[in-house]
């Protein structure tokens, strides 16, 4: 090879190595910038606010649960009806029944209902997908699906058996093949019974009485002792329940019949049926006007409660950056909500050394309530101070846990302490939240 050609190839190789090295340095700098920009959301904490302890609530854009555009889950409590639930959330009874695919007005305590301000259905996914693929496949509005399901990432993974809210009718879901239309119940065919013809036999001739011979006197027989007469055992039939004229029988009990109602058959679900357009509330029958009046009153109460909730929400949220010098090892990732809840409850997660805790159960936040019950810990639906609040639907289905610091039952609010909440990973917040958001509490 000539010296001139060798010098040219050496220059080309040197230039290529320098270009590759420059490209690697540029990509590394971009990754550092992206990583730094995702540590804490900019709308919560500014880039130079790493040592600040207070963050204003108006920077967090928090809103009460009743004014949310998304879908909420409501658990039925004692005394609640479809009418009262609809008035509380500012929706209608028909909307709740359509969303949850129910036909009756009867509710059970602890029954869960999905509440939505827009028409739609709850759909269980049959396969793994994401919002973008699912919306494109069935030609559904992507932005509405993200808003109604509290999602911000259109390519967020969605796994099979996950429940999502779809802004379509049940008939549209049947047409798209998302739901299976139930088969109509077969109408029972009543076969005609053959007529039974009874034939009467011909009358027999009446026999003539034979002449009676005079009896011959016979010696009187010796009286024999009489055998004991066997008594017939008569089965007692159950006594039918008798009620007053103004009462109805249901499950062998008497119930006062409301005005504008008639008694229903004993084998039905209710004791009476409302007539003349009156509505059954579960305890009486009311007119449409009375129903509207009650709904308006309950709407006013809900509005006042919402206003009071807004006053509490208007306070400041304390957001503290976690000091890693006090870190412990408890089996959960540092910076997550599970890590902070375990650290704040050493009575449940006891220390075995100065920097190490043991745990009676494990798992993501959405499994804490179930796993705590399996470990023999006390749980329940009512919050107490220092109990662990469990939200099984938060953070894209992974759940969220927090420590209860204060309770306002009259407003349905909790003052909670949590990590990786509204201020992001590694920050501890003190903020107000609704009681109905949480599935249960670990005591």
Domains and CATH numbers, the chain: 65-176 (3.10.350.10), 247-288 (no CATH), 317-442 (3.90.1720.10)
pLDDT (0 to 100) of residue 409: 92
d(CA 331, CA 85): 41
Q: In angstroms, how far is the first alpha carbon of the chain from the final one?
A: 84
| Contacts with 181 (C-beta within 8 Å, 6 or more apart), sequence order | 174
Put simply, whether the predicted model's pTM sits higher than 0.85 gets the answer no
Per-residue pLDDT of the chain (443 residues; tens, 9 = 90+): 555 666 777 778 888 878 887 777 766 666 554 443 333 333 223 333 333 333 332 333 333 344 445 688 889 988 889 899 888 888 888 888 888 888 888 888 888 888 887 888 888 898 999 988 998 899 888 888 888 887 878 888 888 888 888 888 888 888 988 888 887 777 777 777 766 656 566 666 676 667 666 666 676 766 666 555 555 656 666 677 778 877 888 777 888 888 888 888 766 677 778 888 888 887 788 888 888 888 888 888 888 877 776 666 655 567 777 776 788 999 998 889 999 999 999 999 999 999 999 999 999 999 999 999 999 999 999 999 999 999 998 877 889 999 999 999 988 999 999 999 888 888 899 999 999 999 999 99
pLDDT (0 to 100) of residue 346: 95
d(CA 337, CA 403): 10
pLDDT (0 to 100) of residue 33: 44
d(CA 45, CA 331): 28
Task: Indicate if the alpha-carbon torsion angle 319, 321, 326, 330 is positive or negative.
Answer: positive
pLDDT (0 to 100) of residue 48: 35
């Amino acid at each position: 090879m000539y010296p001139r050609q060798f010098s040219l190839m050496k220059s080309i190789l040197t230039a290529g190595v320098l270009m590759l090295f420059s490209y690697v340095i540029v990509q590394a700098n971009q990754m550092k910038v992206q990583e730094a920009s995702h540590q804490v959301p900019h709308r919560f904490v500014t880039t130079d606010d790493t040592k600040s302890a207070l963050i204003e609530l108006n920077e967090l854009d928090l809103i009460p649960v009743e004014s949310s555009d998304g879908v909420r889950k409501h658990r039925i409590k004692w005394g609640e009806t479809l009418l009262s639930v609809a008035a509380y959330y500012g929706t209608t009874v028909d909307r709740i029944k359509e969303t949850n695919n129910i036909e009756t007005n009867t509710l059970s305590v602890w029954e869960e209902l999905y509440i939505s301000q827009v028409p739609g259905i709850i759909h269980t996914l049959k396969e793994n997908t994401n919002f973008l693929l699912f919306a494109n496949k069935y030609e559904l509005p992507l932005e509405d699906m993200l808003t109604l399901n509290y999602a911000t990432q259109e390519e967020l993974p969605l796994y099979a058996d996950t429940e999502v809210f779809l802004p379509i009718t049940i008939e549209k879901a049947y047409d798209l093949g998302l739901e299976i239309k139930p088969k109509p119940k077969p109408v029972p065919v009543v076969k005609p019974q053959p007529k039974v013809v009874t034939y009467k036999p011909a009358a027999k001739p009446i026999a003539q009485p034979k002449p009676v011979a005079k009896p011959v006197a016979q010696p009187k027989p010796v009286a024999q002792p009489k055998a004991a007469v066997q008594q017939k055992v008569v089965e007692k039939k159950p006594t039918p329940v008798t009620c007053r004229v103004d009462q109805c029988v249901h499950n062998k009990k008497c119930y006062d019949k409301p005005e504008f109602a008639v008694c229903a058959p004993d084998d039905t679900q209710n004791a009476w049926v409302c007539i003349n357009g009156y509505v059954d509330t579960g305890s009486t029958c009311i007119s449409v006007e009375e129903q509207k009046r009650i709904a308006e009153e309950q709407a006013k109460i809900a509005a006042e409660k919402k206003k009071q909730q807004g006053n509490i929400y208007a306070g400041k949220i304390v957001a503290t950056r976690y000091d890693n010098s006090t870190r412990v090892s408890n089996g959960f990732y540092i910076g997550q909500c599970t890590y902070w809840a375990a650290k704040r409850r050493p009575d449940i997660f006891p220390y075995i050394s100065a920097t190490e805790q043991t745990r009676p159960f494990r798992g993501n936040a959405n499994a804490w309530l179930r796993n705590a019950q399996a470990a023999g810990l006390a749980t329940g639906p009512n919050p107490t101070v220092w109990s662990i609040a469990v939200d099984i639907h938060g953070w894209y289905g992974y759940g969220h846990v927090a420590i209860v610091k204060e309770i306002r039952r009259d407003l349905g609010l909790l003052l909670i302490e949590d990590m990786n909440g509204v201020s992001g990973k590694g920050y501890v917040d003190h903020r107000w939240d609704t009681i109905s958001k949480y599935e249960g509490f670990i005591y």
